[in-house]
Structure 1
Amino acid sequence: MNYRVIKEDDLFLLSDEKGDIVGNHPYELGLYTKDTRFLSTMKLLVNGESPIALHSDGGENYRSSILLTNPHQENEAGLLLWRESIQFERTRFISEGVLYEKVKATSYFPKKAAFRIAMEMDADFLDMFIVRGFQNGKTGSRGETAMGDQEMTFTYNGSDQIERTTVVKWDQPEQELRSGYVGFDWELQHGESKEVTFKIEALHDQEKSKMQDENDALNSLKKSYEEWNGSLPRIETDVKQLEKLVQRGTDDLRVLLTDVGFGSFPVAGLPWFGVPFGRDSLIAALQLLPFNAAVAKGTLLTMAHYQGTKVDAWRDEQPGKIMHEIRYGELANTDQIPFAPYYGSVDSTPLFLMLLVEYVNWTGDVSLVKELRSTIDRAIDWIDEYGDRDGDLFVEYHQEASKGIANQGWKDSGDSVVHRNGDYAVSPIALSEVQGYVYQAKKGIAQIFTQLGETEKANHLDLTAEKLKKKFNEAFWMDDVQFYAIALDENKNQVGTITSNPGHLLQSGILSDDRAKKVAQVLVNEKMFSGFGIRTMAIGEAGYNPMSYHDGSVWPHDNSMILLGMAKSNLPEEMSQVVQGLLDASHHFEYNRLPELFCGYDQSLNTVVPYPVACSPQAWAAGTPLTFVQSLLGIFPAGLNKKIVLSPSLLPSMDELHITGLRLGDGILSVSLIRIEGKTEVNVKENTTGWEISQQLETPAL
């Protein structure tokens, strides 16, 4: 990873490995909030030169530490600094919308060393869509840079009538201050240190400053992480890589949490998707449910707030539809792009209902259903009226927005839905996995309505779901390959390319047992399974490309949705194969962090080939290891009935798995799985839920 990123709430810093914000970098570096770059330059200088990187640690999400040293420096008068004589340490973190950066210099020169350290800074206030080269448009104007006592302020008057301000303060007297530059002249004896702390804040309009003492801010941040980690279940196993992945995943999900007023939810990923995303946020919250159900509640409330209210082709909006994403920058605020919010996602609405059902299953909290009652009704109405465009029971998508997204499933690149002859499918398109989401959502909501005494509505949902199941299996099943089509095109012809999409059907209940088995077997054959995970498209298909974004790559989150289905469908051998492949893949990535995606090459290269611009950390990639635990435990609770079903299985490489402090309802469940003489023994260590447990006492070794 040739960048370093830290985030807290809605502010994130993207720098190079030295900690600088510079130009001509593969990633557009900067300090960002609300889709605006509030710092476009931040460069540390030693006697006017950039220092040399020694070590750059990107493993700790909320705080970054970077070690540097000076180059050899002379001028016509003689020696300025002997090479590697001064150590510079940059430590930084973000708290309550403020970036704190401490620069500490320590001398190892045998005599007194004199030098100047300086920080160059600038703020271009560019909209993120302009920064990334996606759009241009009418923008505002920069104001004068103001300088005061140990302070510098950059201002911008946006075309959206919002004044944006970047305030920079430091805690040591400077020797030179001019626009975009502050310099400090220091003298150090051997072993002596000196430091300066910068506080950088991004403000909108008359927003009040939240700068505070650096130590108080850091202690507050540490406490929030301690509370987060203390609330999570503890995982112990003899496969230590799984422990590392789960810890990394929960750490990454914590840093990706944001609250826009309705509770914490995960943004999609860094660096470019640190905003509410319907599909991504909902799936990440689903993955996190066994570990922290409160995030699912915050995600549902956030999505409900932005639910579509009208027909607006510019935004691909219809009443009841759950959004795709929302942006807060200048272009979105002035309607130059349709992202305030944008609704071009065919699966966000059924995924919203799916998450709500699973939230109830894990918590038993029906009060949230009552709170969101009108939201649920509108979402179901959208599925039946606007999602099903032609009344054939299938939910389809078709782009209306001129600057929107053409393919509106999770594989949203323009080449992702392709016929076996290489032709791209033409919309309206009905995706296979979306029909499964709809079926699962309707069946689950029907159960909740039955519990609430709304039998007429429950029966109607059940009836329409069963009709969908019958028609889906007739229209999407391909006898010649014993698999499901990825989609139906505008003419209701099958898009027959073998892809991972039908794997999502395994958790929905829309498949018969024998067809579920056949789907799983295709997914783990040599054409679909790379050895490191399930590919998005099978080798041999016309669109297959192991380097592509969606047509042959491996996406961890895609695998996680399939894994949950394999576990739910009682397919432990296939599930085990996929979990082990992803565990093997994770060894090849920095900080035990599964990325957004990686290339689909097989294991003959003896390495995983990274995708060049994958997001990392990314929410649903971070959530993937958490689904390993749920899948291995085989736990799918039914909160309405206060029942817990366990169907556990251990990996061939695993003899022990202990889960302590799993939260269900108002209680705790702790379970140990131990392989003894080839069989898995299940030991329920603690159960304060009051829920009934049915368990498979012994599972044959895989």
Structure 2
Amino acid sequence: MSTDAVSILDGNTFVVSDNRGDINATPTDTSGLFASDTRFLSTWNLTVDGQRLNSLSVDHLEYFASRFFLVPGTGTVYVDAKLSVIRQRAVGDGFREQLTILNHSEEPVTLTVRIDAAADFADLFEVKNATAKKGKHYTRVDKRQLLLGYARETFVRETLISTDGDVQVDDSGLTFVVRIQPHEDWKTELRVEAIGALRRGAAPPHRPGTPTAATKSRRRGEAENAEARMSRNLDAWLTKAPKLDCDNDDLRVTYRRSLVDLAALRFSPLVAGDYSLPAAGLPWFMTMFGRDSIFTSLQALPFAPELARTTLRALADWQGAVVDDFRDEDPGRILHEMRYGETAAFEEQPHSPYYGTADATQLFVVLLDEYERWTGDLALARQLEPEARAALNWIDEYADLRGNGYVYYERRNEQTGLENQCWKDSWDSISFKDGRLPGFPRATCELQGYAYDAKVRAARLARIAWKDPAFADRLEAEAAALKRRFNRDFWVADGQYFALALDADGNQVDALSSNIGHLLWSGIVDKSKAKAVARHLMSDRLFSGWGVRTLAKGEQRYNPIGYHVGTVWPFDNSFIAWGLRRYGFHDEAARIAAGILDAAVFFDGRLPEAFGGYERSLTRYPVQYPTACSPQAWSTGAPLLFLRTMLGLEPSGDNLVIDPALPDNAGHIALYDIPGRWGQRDAFARRRSLRG
């Protein structure tokens, strides 16, 4: 997306336009109206008397609505305009746009107002890969409606554009001829419906035909009710969340931005009914991702525990059941990604769903236990016992590709499957210090930490929820053995850190990376080695001053603006800080929290997916990564986890333990009405000096 792009979204429906409200999508950009992985509008241009308009400002009303203030004219010199135009747009199963033109002159004006519209119905994967459509496009015109359609066998997607005003409709848009008296205005309302997109509780799709008065009234009511419903829903979401009081205005802005963006990213797949889980991020990942949804749910547990409940239920419903090489599916495996577009429907991509992730399965068990620890919801822990056991079986039965007790990955779908199936899933993210790429299969270090944590946590659930102490004993013994092996086989003795991975022959892939922070979070690190790990994380090679880099300076593939080889990821840092807290490195965790939260100020409180890994001393602001998703769910969740880490919030039985450790510039922080098995609890903290 361009830097002046304007986005509004609601669940899996979003609109990306320029700052005039216009859409002019190219085959490879993400402008347009998207729903369920399909672009339902690729052109949406407003002209007045044949001229495009200039933007004065954009008012971001809510995550689902924006208002554009425009004037006619071209060139760089502003001349007092006699007309102004306001476009107010709200998304929801398409979008509704109210168009207002104001005549500021002393004479009446007659204007030709034109909306050019087109839909390429591109699948998101087609946008990414610039591939051509294989079906047929069609249009149907009625007095006040334009239907744009696409069909390929039984796969049909349609965009219905309608208005209540006097209009001339043709195959490529709508034309209004209007006369506006002096100091008066003209208004009309345009509705764009995405027919064929997944929607919850929607009426049957409308077909072309002259709308009756009752139909027009119903549609207007549905649109207004949808906008009012979203507004009420956001108010309820914010009211329900814990209240933050602090001395730092920037932290308050970031906290509210995180809550609002998390609300915007809530997604309700059909299996979730009326409940929602976090979609991964705009623009590419507005759907269910196993890893991303789990990590975000973990971050948000003290603030919105219901996200974790829905995530667990939805992922359990789609848990792998068979061995399917096309989808990299195994029994017990948790999905990586679910898609609803054309390429998935015709199995040109395996994402219906795709299971090529080597960490979501362990993390599913971790989330189930952490959710029960936080909420006391034993009923869900019991309900999902079969799925949790199947996930644990996957670790031993299907993930141990080398028979040495470690979780490895290697794609079985050579054409479209992911090479790297850890969270750093770009092609060059796993390397030796000298830059060589290891062969497959690969066993990255954090996968073993997640497996260890899953077994320890499942042992607790086996005792308190599943009433199977023998199984608990077995899991604890397996976890202890894994920890011993791991601290022997992954430890780079001459560098005093853990290797990024083992290759197929068991050799250490010895690059120094941020993954070692996830090992602290999982608890797999021997206490005798933890101090060395923390020292590396806070060294100049990894810690930029803004946050921990994904790959250390000095490694051959290090690049401060490389996707997984030197950038700083807020999500990554939030779990590193949590891990440092777990091992008692309170001040180090606070420094990381302070760095990332300072960076958030330069992004207006909305942390992007990643930003540059340059030293903080080189620039007064964090350097933007050009194609970072924003908002992205686990970046949105990062400030929430930092708040939990700084306040030292940990459930202990039916109580909430509060053990704050704030950075020097934090001042006073209070978090009120923290939900959990204890009901609601308040947490207070004041700054203290960092220990040397």
Provide the TM-score with structure 2 as the length reference: 0.93
Q: Equivalent residue for 1:537? A: 551
Matches within 5 A, 1:583-594: 583-589=597-603, 591-594=604-607
Contact persistence 1:56–1:65 (CA under 8 A): yes
Q: Which amino acid aligns with 2:52?
A: S
Q: Which amino acid aligns with 1:485?
A: A
Q: Does residue 1:483 correspond to 2:497, yes or no?
A: yes
Q: Does residue 1:558 correspond to 2:555, yes or no?
A: no
Q: Which amino acid aligns with 1:202?
A: A
Matches within 5 A, 1:125-274: 125-133=121-129, 135=131, 139-143=134-138, 145-159=139-153, 161-174=154-167, 176-204=168-196, 207-208=204-205, 211-213=219-221, 214-260=223-269, 261-262=271-272, 263-274=275-286
Contact persistence 1:332–1:339 (CA under 8 A): yes
Question: What secondary structure does 2:439 align onto?
Answer: coil
Question: What secondary structure does 1:387 align onto?
Answer: coil
Matches within 5 A, 1:116-127: 116-127=112-123
Q: Which amino acid aligns with 1:575?
A: A
**How far, CA to CA, are the matches of 1:272 and 1:101 in structure 2?**
24
Identify which of 56, 59, 62 aligns with 1:60.
Answer: 62
Q: CA RMSD in A?
A: 1.9
Question: What secondary structure does 1:445 align onto?
Answer: helix
Matches within 5 A, 1:541-690: 541-589=555-603, 591-603=604-616, 604-638=618-652, 641-665=653-677, 667-675=679-687, 678=688
**How far, CA to CA, are the matches of 1:142 and 1:619 in structure 2?**
34
Question: What secondary structure does 2:177 align onto?
Answer: strand
Q: Larger deviation: 539-548 or 24-33?
A: 24-33
Q: Larger deviation: 555-564 or 161-170?
A: 161-170
Q: Equivalent residue for 2:29? A: 27
Distance 1:215 1:337, change over 3 A: closer
**How far, CA to CA, are the matches of 2:436 and 2:303 in structure 1?**
43
Q: Does residue 1:374 correspond to 2:386, yes or no?
A: yes
| Post-superposition CA distance 1:469-515 (Å, at most 9, x none) | 00000011112121111110111111111100111111212113342
Q: Does residue 1:106 correspond to 2:102, yes or no?
A: yes
Q: Equivalent residue for 2:446? A: 433
> Structure 2: where are the runs of 5+ without partners?
198-202, 207-217
**How far, CA to CA, are the matches of 1:584 and 1:82 in structure 2?**
40
Identify which of 46, 60, 85 aligns with 1:88.
Answer: 85
Q: Which amino acid aligns with 1:532?
A: W
Distance 1:614 1:269, change over 3 A: same
Q: Which amino acid aligns with 1:12?
A: F
Q: CA deviation at 1:44?
A: 0.9
Contact persistence 1:568–1:636 (CA under 8 A): no
| Post-superposition CA distance 1:241-299 (Å, at most 9, x none) | 11111111111111010111323100100011101111111111111111011110101
Q: Equivalent residue for 2:48? A: 46
**How far, CA to CA, are the matches of 1:59 and 1:218 in structure 2?**
12
Q: CA deviation at 1:32?
A: 1.1
Distance 1:480 1:139, change over 3 A: same
Question: What secondary structure does 1:626 align onto?
Answer: helix
Tell me the percent identity: 35
Distance 1:524 1:667, change over 3 A: same
Runs of 4+ in structure 1 off by over 6 angstroms are none
**How far, CA to CA, are the matches of 1:211 and 1:413 in structure 2?**
45
Q: Equivalent residue for 2:212? A: none
**How far, CA to CA, are the matches of 2:591 and 2:640 in structure 1?**
16
Contact persistence 1:98–1:211 (CA under 8 A): no
Q: CA deviation at 1:162?
A: 2.3
Q: CA deviation at 1:517?
A: 2.3
**How far, CA to CA, are the matches of 1:570 and 1:171 in structure 2?**
64
Contact persistence 1:5–1:271 (CA under 8 A): no
Aligned positions, number: 665
**How far, CA to CA, are the matches of 2:25 and 2:454 in structure 1?**
47
Distance 1:142 1:24, change over 3 A: closer
**How far, CA to CA, are the matches of 1:659 and 1:281 in structure 2?**
24
Provide the TM-score with structure 1 as the length reference: 0.92
**How far, CA to CA, are the matches of 2:691 and 2:102 in structure 1?**
58
Q: Equivalent residue for 1:415? A: 428
Q: Larger deviation: 145-154 or 270-279?
A: 145-154
Q: CA deviation at 1:211?
A: 4.1
Q: CA deviation at 1:569?
A: 2.0
Q: Larger deviation: 149-158 or 44-53?
A: 149-158
Q: CA deviation at 1:24?
A: 4.3
Contact persistence 1:72–1:84 (CA under 8 A): no
Matches within 5 A, 1:418-497: 418-452=431-465, 453-497=467-511
Q: Does residue 1:519 correspond to 2:515, yes or no?
A: no
| Post-superposition CA distance 1:106-127 (Å, at most 9, x none) | 2222432332221110112122
**How far, CA to CA, are the matches of 1:218 and 1:562 in structure 2?**
39
Q: Which amino acid aligns with 2:142?
A: G
Q: CA deviation at 1:58?
A: 4.5
Q: Which amino acid aligns with 1:332?
A: A
Contact persistence 1:357–1:445 (CA under 8 A): yes
Q: CA deviation at 1:57?
A: 3.8
**How far, CA to CA, are the matches of 1:162 and 1:208 in structure 2?**
15
Q: Which amino acid aligns with 1:125?
A: F
Contact persistence 1:252–1:622 (CA under 8 A): yes
**How far, CA to CA, are the matches of 1:152 and 1:576 in structure 2?**
56
Question: What secondary structure does 1:340 align onto?
Answer: coil
Distance 1:423 1:72, change over 3 A: closer
Q: Which amino acid aligns with 1:65?
A: R
**How far, CA to CA, are the matches of 2:359 and 2:131 in structure 1?**
26
Q: Equivalent residue for 2:343? A: 331
